[in-house]
Amino acid sequence: MTNGSRTVLSRDLQHNETVIDTFLKDCPGFTKHRIRLQKREAVLFFIEALINKDFIQRDILGYLLSQDGPVLNDLQRYDQIPVAVITRLDHFDQVSDAILDGQAVLIADGINRAFSFKVSDKPQRNIQEPQVEKDIRGPHNGFVERLDTNISLILSSFKNPAVKMRRYEVGLRSKTSVAVLYMEGLTNPKLLDEFDRRIKQVKTDSVLSPSYLEELISGHTWTVFPLLYSTERTDKAIACLLEGRLVILIDGFPQSLSAPSTFVMAFQTADDYSIRAIPASFVRILRFGALLISLFLPALYVAIITFHYETIPLSLLVPLAETRSKVPVPPVVEALFMELIFEIIREASIRLPSTVGQTIGVVGGLVLGQAAVSAGIVSNVMVIVVAMTGMASFIIQNQEVALAIRLVRFPIIFLAAGFGIVGIGVGGAILLSHLISLDSLGIPFMTPLFPFSPRDFRDALIIAPAVLRSSRPKMARPLQYRRKKG
């Protein structure tokens, strides 16, 4: 038997047992339990490490063995067994998938079907506060690795019967469970159909991470920007549902993906909606300013030092020229050297344990920066520029977008070294053109800026007061634009 076989079960119990044994041979914890039901031989298959033994003994075996008459009538009256989820199986691949999913499967002699009982007890960690997306005033519970637990976290916080779900199985070998949640009557059916079409076209052995699935269904391979944003927070996932978006949960990963996503969503945090609109708008504008600093400040330094000395005031030009006279390398080499050093320190601090990583990051930056200046490799101003650039990139909470900005920074530095301010302008135009060309499930990635939407702009660069946020963003094309009471 091969994986994916649609061979139907036989009435011969020995044949069924042989086929299942062949397929699951040497699987860790694979166990069989023989029982006798009304003079009929039966076998219960399960993987010991994935099931709850109390459920097996009390709810399945205890009930079946306590009945005197034809308790199941050839296993047709399976609804009498006191287990929450019971599924009829007709093919061997269904049987193997159920066993590997942590279910117990019962097969009886003379019957060409099986029944699976959901008695799984997979290990999981406790619900904790998200490590990256921290919030001061909002809820502190985040997603975990179990799909069912993540679904329950959303449903327990958002009690609405309009929340619907579709399940998929992705990966020919991993058979990863994927759940898509949406709001019936609010989410555009065309959006749901587009996602359904794309995920069914995914042909891969396994799904290794949410970003892996995002890349497979986004339709844009050669881009550094994520087109489906991930979040660890349940409240942000619920907010996406209320805007008519899709929330994608993947078994084994403590994040959700939102679809469609736009560029401005990377600068929106849960804290923005926990405080008043005016200070929240100030903080959000500060994030967009940090984006410009992180993207263009090193390139601007290289362009001014290389081509545009006349733009520097004389009082600043003299000490700057004295500092630069001690540096033996061109400004572009100086900038690239310091940027690479900063990236190495950043990666080292992330990979080390948290108690050591923060110390290494701070001390390493100070020591290496001072040593580079003392050795005459870089100037004092360059250290300040790189430090401001690095701090600005930390303000961007979405790590994938922050990484994309860090990567795009390097070609812009090269353009600035070759063509000055003109090169920065050309690099910015190319970047903007690339962003405009992207889409997320058919929705323009730069919405509401390109195409411009005045109504959605109120929740893009700024945040309008709550009394003015009476409509949902149009970017997801929801069926109801107005936020209704009740």
The three-point CA angle 75-24-34 to 5° equals 40
* Percent of the chain predicted with pLDDT > 70: 91
Report the side by side order of strands in the sheet with 86-89: 30-37, 40-47, 104-108, 114-117, 86-89
The C-alpha atoms of residue 71 and residue 75 are separated, in whole angstroms, by 8
Provide the whole-model pTM: 0.83
Question: Would you state the pLDDT for residue 439?
Answer: 92
Neighbours of 110 (CB within 10 A): 12
Nearest of 176, 317, 198 to residue 246 by alpha carbon: 198
| Cis peptide bond prior to 260, omega within 30° of 0 | yes
Q: What does the DSSP 8-state code read for residue 96?
A: H
Ranking 92-106, 107-121, 345-359 by mean pLDDT, the lowest is 345-359
The C-alpha atoms of residue 156 and residue 132 are separated, in whole angstroms, by 23
Residue in the structure block whose two tokens are 């929705």: 443
* Residues 165-203: tens digit of each pLDDT: 999 989 888 888 899 999 999 999 999 999 999 999 888
Under a CB-based contact definition with an 8 Å cutoff, are residues 422 and 411 in contact? no
5 confidence band (pLDDT: 50, 70, 90)? low
51 confidence band (pLDDT: 50, 70, 90)? confident
Ranking 88-97, 150-159, 394-403, 448-457 by mean pLDDT, the lowest is 448-457
157 confidence band (pLDDT: 50, 70, 90)? confident
Question: Would you state the pLDDT for residue 108?
Answer: 85
What DSSP letter does each residue of 375-440 carry, written as one string? TTSS-HHHHHHHHHHHHHHHH---HHHHHHHHHHHHHHHHHHHHHTHHHHHHHHHHHHHHHHH-EE
- SS3 of 133-163: CCCCCCCCCECCCCHHHHHHHHHHHCCCCCE
Neighbours of 180 (CB within 10 A): 20
Question: Would you state the pLDDT for residue 481?
Answer: 83
Residue in the structure block whose two tokens are 């979405």: 398
